[in-house]
Amino acid sequence: MIKNKPLLECNHVWKAFPNGEGNLSVLEDVHFSLAEGEFFVILGPSGGGKSTLLRVLGGFEPPDKGEVLLDQVPVRQPGRDAIMIFQSFDQLFPWYTLKQNLIYALKKTGAESDPRKAAAEAEIDRSG
């Protein structure tokens, strides 16, 4: 089997958070790489750092040491090239309707006005 070149690389990532009496080390030397289409599961107990790892991978938290590469480019902040799906369910803006939420996201990611509406409508139809 030919291994594809890695799409996502997590290079020796360290992350700690300050807690009362010092630093709570959450990620210690996390190292792996993923190729396109690869299926990867992170398993661990509650409070084990799975979410922190995801937040670092998505660019929401900078790692203390090490780096995350997406397509060979270091991830420094979140962005529309690496949209992340959160665990929380209420990530829609309550001041918009569902359709307005979809249109807003498309607008912010640079889609044109008319296709934007059509795409949002199609998506709502599709999911019912």
- Judged by CB under 8 A, which of 94, 113, 125, 127 binds other proteins? 94
27 within 8 A of 54, measured Cβ to Cβ: no
Question: Segment contacting other proteins (CB under 8 A): 1-9, 19-27, 64-72, 86-94?
Answer: 86-94
Tell whether residue 77 is a contact of other proteins (CB under 8 A).
yes
What does the block give as tokens for 3? Answer: 């291994």
Tell whether residue 46 is a contact of other proteins (CB under 8 A).
no
CA nearest neighbour of 37 among 16, 7, 15: 7
Tell whether residue 54 is a contact of other proteins (CB under 8 A).
no
Residues 6+ apart with CB under 8 A from 69: 6, 8, 9, 11, 75
Tell whether residue 113 is a contact of other proteins (CB under 8 A).
no
Minimum Å gap between C-beta 31 and other proteins is 25
Side by side, which strands form the sheet with 65-70? Answer: 22-35, 6-19, 65-70, 73-74
Tell whether residue 86 is a contact of other proteins (CB under 8 A).
yes
- Judged by CB under 8 A, which of 41, 43, 80, 128 binds other proteins? 80
Tell whether residue 3 is a contact of other proteins (CB under 8 A).
no
